[in-house]
Structure 1
Amino acid sequence: MTNPMWMRGVEWLAAAASDPQACKREWDRGNGTVLMEAGRFWDVVSVPDQLGLLALDIMWYDPVRMPGPTLVDSAARRVGFFLPPDPTGHWVGAGIRHASKGSWVAVPSPYRPVGCLEWIVPPDGSGTLHPPLTLELALREAHGTLAVLAPVSED
């Protein structure tokens, strides 16, 4: 039985592909990921995994808002947050990358992990994305927390 949320997520995500039908066929075969251009329907802010997972945890505390689509790459040890194209925000910092128009993102099916890529929060088909300001504030808070927890080196 197919989960309706997954199907809506597949349709929404595939719409960002240059050939949505070919994209869905690739995912149905389970052969891997599809390269999609950022900047049309969404951008991606990619951060080191420790920072990203802590920021996502911080965002879960908002009882009104569910976080937007979030992808983890366990091999690269990175977390990718999907947010509106050309977001306002300050995406600077050690290891923070902003994929926008002209950048390509490897995207697995919303319902099947592929190798090291997996959705922590899969797209639900509603078009919900991470609000840029919420994400920026969560990343800043997470960075502050990690800085406090970092071991002090003995020189």
Structure 2
Amino acid sequence: MTTRGVEWLSAAADDPADCRATWADDPRAPYALAAGRFFDVVTVEQRVGMETFDQLLHRGLPFGPVVLDHKARRVGFLLGSRSQETFLHYLAQEDGTPPTYRYLGHGSVVVVPGPMPMSGDRYQWLRAPARRPIANPLRPVALATMLVASTELLIRVDRYGERYPSEAALALPTFEGTATDAG
């Protein structure tokens, strides 16, 4: 994360100077920030979140910083503050099953990784803020669209796997009738 990214993110803290001091002492330290000031956050379960992240990235769609919480197994997508109405509108426009999600806006708190988390840390940046994100009204649209598309894709993948198990799964030995009589 760049210095400008740290400045923008820490400005969302109740005490920005304390946040910057914490990160200066330990750049791995997670920090609780208020949502709704500079950003809102949409969180989803990790599997849907990772697929959505990959789809947004590979398709070149607009999206901002993204955080992963390994322990909670959730991915959080940062949107511009006050994006909820647009996000919900476009989520409802999609054909398909929207994922279960949490929308964190004004009055919510989100824990973010420090500027330099290590690979074993609970909180990781999938995409760290490099600076204050440029306002883009298409971010909530792209996120809503890809969340539904990713959910539908994963539903199909799971259904396919149940219907057509892999040869390796079919070749697993069964243990029926292999017990020996120890008496």
Choose from 41, 45, 60 the match for 1:44. 41
Higher mean C-alpha deviation, range 132-141 or range 32-41: 32-41
TM-score (norm 1): 0.85
Cα pair 1:67 1:121 within 8 Å, conserved: no
- What is the SS of the residue equivalent to 2:59? coil
Choose from 116, 119, 122 the match for 1:116. 122
1:84 matched residue in structure 2? 80
Deviation digits for residues 62-117 of structure 1 (CA, Å, limit 9, x no counterpart) = 34x55310000011110000001121122685531111111111122222248310
Spell out the pairing of 1:1-155 with structure 2 (5 A cutoff): 6-30=2-26, 32-63=29-60, 65=61, 67-87=63-83, 88-90=86-88, 93-113=98-118, 115-128=121-134, 131-151=139-159, 152=162
CA distance in 1, matches of 2:57, 2:80: 19
Matched letter for residue 89 of structure 1: F
Cα pair 1:82 1:129 within 8 Å, conserved: no
Cα pair 1:68 1:129 within 8 Å, conserved: no
C-alpha displacement of 1:129: 6.7
CA distance in 1, matches of 2:135, 2:115: 14
CA distance in 2, matches of 1:46, 1:71: 9
C-alpha displacement of 1:124: 0.8
Structure index of larger Rg: 2
Q: Which protein has the bigger helix share?
A: 2
Matched letter for residue 125 of structure 2: W
Q: Give unmatched runs, 5+ long, in structure 2.
A: 93-97, 164-183
Higher mean C-alpha deviation, range 45-54 or range 108-117: 108-117
Deviation digits for residues 27-82 of structure 1 (CA, Å, limit 9, x no counterpart) = 1222722211101100000000110110111111234x553100000111100000
CA distance in 2, matches of 1:60, 1:94: 19
CA distance in 2, matches of 1:46, 1:129: 20
Higher mean C-alpha deviation, range 93-102 or range 34-43: 93-102
- What is the SS of the residue equivalent to 2:100? coil
RMSD between superposed Cα atoms in Å: 2.2
What is the percentage of aligned positions where both structures have the same residue? 32
Cα pair 1:38 1:104 within 8 Å, conserved: yes
Higher mean C-alpha deviation, range 40-49 or range 125-134: 125-134
